[in-house]
Amino acid sequence: MWLELGAVGVVVVSSSDMAREILKTQDHIFASRPSNLVGDMVLGKGQDLGFSPLNDHFRLVRKVYTTQLLSQQRIDSFKDLRRELLMKTMSTAFEEGHANRYISFADFMHELFMSITTRMMFRRGAGAHNQEFIKTMIDVTNSDFIFIEDFFPLLKPLDLSGRIKKLRMAAEKYNDIMESIIDNRLKEKPNSKSYNDENFLDVLLAMSDFPRDQLKYLLLNIIIGGTDTSSEPIVWAMTELLRQPTIMERLQSELDDVIGKERLVDLQKLEYLQAVVKETLRLHPAAVLGVPHFSKEATKVAGYDTPANTREMLNLYAISRDPKVWENPLKFDPSRFLNSPIDVKGQQYEVLPFSSGRRMFWA
Q: Which of 199, 231, 263 is the last residue of a domain?
A: 231
**CA dist 87 → 251, 263, 308, 334 (Å):** 20, 15, 51, 27
308 and 226 in a single domain? The answer is no
203 and 271 in a single domain? The answer is no
Q: How far apart are CA 334 and CA 6, in angstroms?
A: 40
- Average pLDDT of the chain, as a whole number: 87
% of the chain exceeding 70 in pLDDT: 92
**Minimum mean pLDDT range among 5-14, 99-108, 121-130, 326-335:** 121-130
Is the pLDDT score of 96 beyond 50? yes
Q: How far apart are CA 69 and CA 232, in angstroms?
A: 23
Query: How do residues 52-91 score in pLDDT, each as one tens digit?
Result: 999 998 998 898 888 888 888 888 888 889 999 999 999 9
75 and 220 in a single domain? The answer is yes
62 and 21 in a single domain? The answer is no
Q: Is there a domain that residue 262 lies in?
A: yes
83 and 191 in a single domain? The answer is yes
Q: How far apart are CA 219 and CA 10, in angstroms?
A: 30
67 and 12 in a single domain? The answer is no
355 and 267 in a single domain? The answer is yes
Q: Is there a domain that residue 261 lies in?
A: yes
**Minimum mean pLDDT range among 221-230, 258-267, 287-296:** 258-267
Inter-residue contact 81 to 119 (CB < 8 Å): yes
CATH number of the domain bearing residue 165: 1.10.630.10
Helices within the chain (DSSP H only): 16-20, 27-30, 37-41, 56-64, 72-77, 79-98, 105-122, 130-141, 163-188, 200-205, 212-226, 228-243, 245-258, 271-283, 316-319
Residue 363: its pLDDT value, please? 45
The domain tally of the chain equals: 2
251 and 351 in a single domain? The answer is yes
- Alpha-carbon torsion, ordered 209, 210, 211, 213, to 10 deg: -160
Q: Which of 201, 231, 261 is the last residue of a domain?
A: 231
Domain range for residue 358? 1-34+244-362
pTM of the predicted structure, to 2 decimals: 0.88
**Nearest Cα to Cα of residue 277 among 310, 319, 232, 214:** 232
Residue 143: its pLDDT value, please? 65
6 and 150 in a single domain? The answer is no
